[in-house]
Amino acid sequence: MKRAAKDAEHSSRRINRRALVLGGSQMAFAAMLGWRMQSMQVEQADDFRLLAEENRINVRLIPPTRGLIFDINGIPLAENEQNYRIVLRREDAGDVDLVLRRLARLMPIDPEVIARVRDEAVNRPAFTPVTVLERVDWDQISMINVNAPALPGITAEVGLSRSFPRGADTAHVVGYVGPVSDYDLGKIDNPDPVLRIPRFQIGKTGVEAKLEDMLRGSAGNQHIEVNNLGRVMRELERQEGDPGADIQLTVDAELQSYVEARLEDQSASAVVIDLASGDLRAIASAPSFDPNQFVRGISVANWRALNDNPFRPLASKAVQDAYPPGSTFKMVTLLAALENGDVGPEDTVYCPGFTNVGGTRFHCWRARGHGNINLHESLKQSCDCYYYEVSQRVGIDKIAEMARKLGLGIRHDIPMSAVRPGIAPDHAWKRETRGEAWRIGDTVNASIGQGYVLATPLQLAVMAARLATGHEIKPRLVHSVNGVIQATGLGDTLGLNENMLRRVRQSMYDVVNHQRGTAYGKRFNADGMRMAGKTGTSQVRRITPDERARGVTRNEDLPWQRRDHALWVNFAPFDTPRYAVAVVVEHGGGGSSAAAPIGRDITLQALYGGAPPLDVYPGNVRDEIATQQDRIRNRLSAGSTTRDRA
């Protein structure tokens, strides 16, 4: 009995301990449960309320602010303007087709736009916004906000859109922007995520395209809470990206606008170079186009009109079109011969109006010939036979070498689209490109800028600049990036004989200022300042012996596409050169009649910084110039009014 009592007492103690442990555990669990319930109900109530309402956090990219583009005087050439747009996010919309149908009942939407939005929504990540409409007004924004519950996934946003305040005047230089295409993405390794935002715009042509990486900047991001209807509840976190760099170009917007106006109604181009720095003050192609059309969405009709225009307004002729330079190339042939010692300044060549080479007759532009003619007269009167003879002495390889030294046949590094290198042909070039041997007739043709020789207006302006200064002038289009000045284009000396250069310059001076010069009628005397220049006319068709026998058909009697190109190069003032100019008028006829007057007027505009006084022109053209200045003034004034309204 005694042992039984002890066992009972021991068992009781064990039961009490177990009860105590169990009770303690239950109390601890209850306490933990109470704490957790309190935490969930009080401290985390907002978080769970968001989950209960199917709210979630989205991460969205913030497109960077695109850098601005200015002219040399700080005038905006490309800027950003506020743009209201309507976007759709598939992850919030649910039934995209239903949402788009509802939206279309509220405001007019082109069926093509709906199809495009549907495709982009399906092919892009669900969280990526798809732009439905851009440049919408405030009434449409209000309509979206009022009908938000019926339009899940549809939101109105404020963004920035590109604008080109100078319009067509700088279109070929600045270029334009457009939405990123699959083709664009395919050209880029590891593309920036911001490029995958539908309708995100990047540079397509010109400076906008060539300096895209600088101008674009880097994207930021934001964390936002949205409810089950897709409405933004609040922004949790925001990290701004880096804006793109601001670019200042060397172009003078006012001079550029004048040049475009002066080239009006022609298929032509012109380039102006500042000789102190190599800065491109104007680089114009006509006709032009309004780049704002491409940003806002160009219509099919307008696109066809641009593409079908025989004057090719979309082409940047100043850099991407290469022409036979005609007689503007004669300075190259002449300097090559002088430097090589193949001709002396007073050596003469007899010009009967033609030269026979290898059984082929090469004609001078003057059918009755120039008689005995020396270096100076050969340029002043542009005698072809002189260069036919001289070129055979020096050879094409030396001529091509001189051409490249003067800036022809090489691609100049400026941020514009499709900059061509032109052609300064020689023996090796013909073997590599044509698989043929060079012939003496090829040299004769090349000596006067025909045959295989091709040069862009930019290259011709560089050639004139190098002749004027004796330095390796390199064209510069970008003056500064975010205020950091870029290297100038004033290079080292060319290493040419200065005495020979002076003779060539003097001959170019007499082309304009001597009564027998081919551009005498295009001279000016501006406060003692005069220009030196050279005319050029390049054939685009072959003149047959039969046509020569009956008389060469005049340009004005030919269809436009078969007329000669008109060319002109010059520098001024002659004594202290400040500017070099090149002009090409496609199928314009003679260089002295079509291109030289344009070059003269552009040069005076650059020298005076505006319209020059009429008394700098010869008396017989002042009435014509006064009428022309009024026309251009009205055109520029109308363009300024349009820009102000925009």
In a domain, 17, yes or no: no
The answer for residues whose C-beta is within 8 angstroms of residue 588's C-beta and 6 or more apart is: 266, 268, 563, 564, 565, 566, 594, 595
In a domain, 4, yes or no: no
**Measured distance CA(457)–CA(454) in Å, rounded:** 10
State both tokens at 298. 């160009």
> Domain end: 212, 232, 249, which one?
249
Query: Rounded to a whole number, what is the largest CA-CA distance in the chain?
Result: 159
In a domain, 617, yes or no: no
User: Per the omega criterion (within 30 degrees of 0), is the bond before 612 cis?
Assistant: no
DSSP code string of 533-565: EEEEEE-SSPPPHHHHHH-PPPGGGS-GGGSPE
Q: What is the pLDDT of residue 84?
A: 83
Beta bridge partners of 234: 225
Is 243 in the same domain as 287? Answer: no
Q: What is the pLDDT of residue 61?
A: 75
Q: What are phi and psi of 221, to 5 degrees?
A: -150, 160
**Measured distance CA(300)–CA(175) in Å, rounded:** 20
Q: Could you give the percent of the chain with pLDDT greater than 90?
A: 60
Sign of the alpha-carbon dihedral angle for 550, 556, 560, 561: positive
Model confidence pLDDT, tens digit, residues 237-274: 777 778 999 999 999 999 999 999 999 989 999 999 99
Is 139 in the same domain as 274? Answer: no
In a domain, 380, yes or no: yes
In a domain, 533, yes or no: yes
Q: How many CB atoms lie within 10 A of CB 563?
A: 24
Is 258 in the same domain as 376? Answer: yes
Is 191 in the same domain as 128? Answer: yes
Strands of 121-176 (E only): list them.
130-134, 154-163
Do 251 and 282 meet the contact criterion of CB atoms below 8 Å apart?
Answer: yes
In a 10 Å sphere around its CB, with 0-12 CB exposed, 13-18 middle and 19+ buried, how is residue 46 labelled? exposed
The answer for residues whose C-beta is within 8 angstroms of residue 459's C-beta and 6 or more apart is: 407, 408, 409, 410, 412, 422
pLDDT along the chain (646 residues), means of 10: 58 65 70 69 60 61 89 97 85 86 87 86 78 83 85 84 94 94 80 77 95 91 68 72 94 98 95 97 97 85 93 96 97 96 93 93 92 95 96 97 98 96 97 96 96 98 98 98 94 94 97 96 90 93 74 80 93 97 95 96 96 94 95 86 55
State both tokens at 486. 């870029």
What CATH code is carried by the domain that includes residue 229?
3.90.1310.10
Strands of 449-502 (E only): list them.
478-481, 484-485
Do 109 and 144 meet the contact criterion of CB atoms below 8 Å apart?
Answer: no
**Measured distance CA(309)–CA(304) in Å, rounded:** 8
The answer for residues whose C-beta is within 8 angstroms of residue 494's C-beta and 6 or more apart is: 405, 406, 466, 470, 471, 472
Do 591 and 567 meet the contact criterion of CB atoms below 8 Å apart?
Answer: yes
Is 278 in the same domain as 235? Answer: no
Buried b (16+ CB within 10 A) or exposed e, 500-516: bbebbbbbbbbbbbbee
In angstroms, the Cα distances linking 332 to 301, 338, 379 are 46, 10, 11
Residue type, 498: E
**Measured distance CA(229)–CA(506) in Å, rounded:** 80
Is 513 in the same domain as 462? Answer: yes
Please name the residue ranges forming H helices in 456-537.
Answer: 457-469, 498-513
Where in the sequence is the domain holding 276, given as residue range(s)?
Answer: 253-305+318-612
Q: What angle do CA 240, 243, 248 make, to 5 degrees?
A: 165
Is 162 in the same domain as 274? Answer: no
Is 529 in the same domain as 508? Answer: yes
Stated as kind and residue range, the H or E segment containing 66 is none
Q: What is the pLDDT of residue 313?
A: 96
In angstroms, the Cα distances linking 81 to 28, 129, 135, 461, 641 are 64, 20, 10, 36, 18
Q: What is the pLDDT of residue 467?
A: 98
What CATH code is carried by the domain that includes residue 536?
3.40.710.10
Do 272 and 255 meet the contact criterion of CB atoms below 8 Å apart?
Answer: yes
3-state helix, strand, coil in the chain (%, to 5): 45, 20, 35
Per-residue H/E/C for 430-448: HHHHHCCCCCHHHHHHHHC
Q: What is the pLDDT of residue 19?
A: 65
**Considering only CA atoms, which of 564, 569, 567, 568 is closest in space to residue 589?**
564
Is 323 in the same domain as 221? Answer: no
> Domain end: 249, 270, 296, which one?
249
Do 592 and 517 meet the contact criterion of CB atoms below 8 Å apart?
Answer: no
In a domain, 448, yes or no: yes
Q: What is the pLDDT of residue 232?
A: 62
**Measured distance CA(375)–CA(277) in Å, rounded:** 31
In a domain, 29, yes or no: no
> Domain end: 201, 229, 249, which one?
249
- State in Å, rounded, how far the first CA of the chain is from the last one: 114
Do 221 and 192 meet the contact criterion of CB atoms below 8 Å apart?
Answer: no
In a domain, 50, yes or no: no
CA 120 to chain centroid: 29
Radius of gyration of the chain (CA): 36
How many distinct structural domains can be found in the chain? 2
Residue type, 46: D
Is 244 in the same domain as 333? Answer: no
**Considering only CA atoms, which of 545, 538, 539 is closest in space to residue 360?**
545
Residue type, 189: D
Q: How many CB atoms lie within 10 A of CB 485?
A: 10
**Measured distance CA(313)–CA(321) in Å, rounded:** 12
Is 471 in the same domain as 342? Answer: yes
Strands of 213-253 (E only): list them.
220-226, 232-239, 247-249
Q: What is the pLDDT of residue 18?
A: 67
Q: What is the pLDDT of residue 53?
A: 47
Q: What is the pLDDT of residue 148?
A: 85
State both tokens at 133. 């409409």
Q: What angle do CA 297, 301, 307 make, to 5 degrees?
A: 95
The strands making up 232-239's β-sheet, listed across from edge to edge, are: 56-62, 220-226, 232-239
**Measured distance CA(536)–CA(205) in Å, rounded:** 30
* Packing angle, helices 622-645 and 253-262, rounded to 10: 120
Is 245 in the same domain as 299? Answer: no
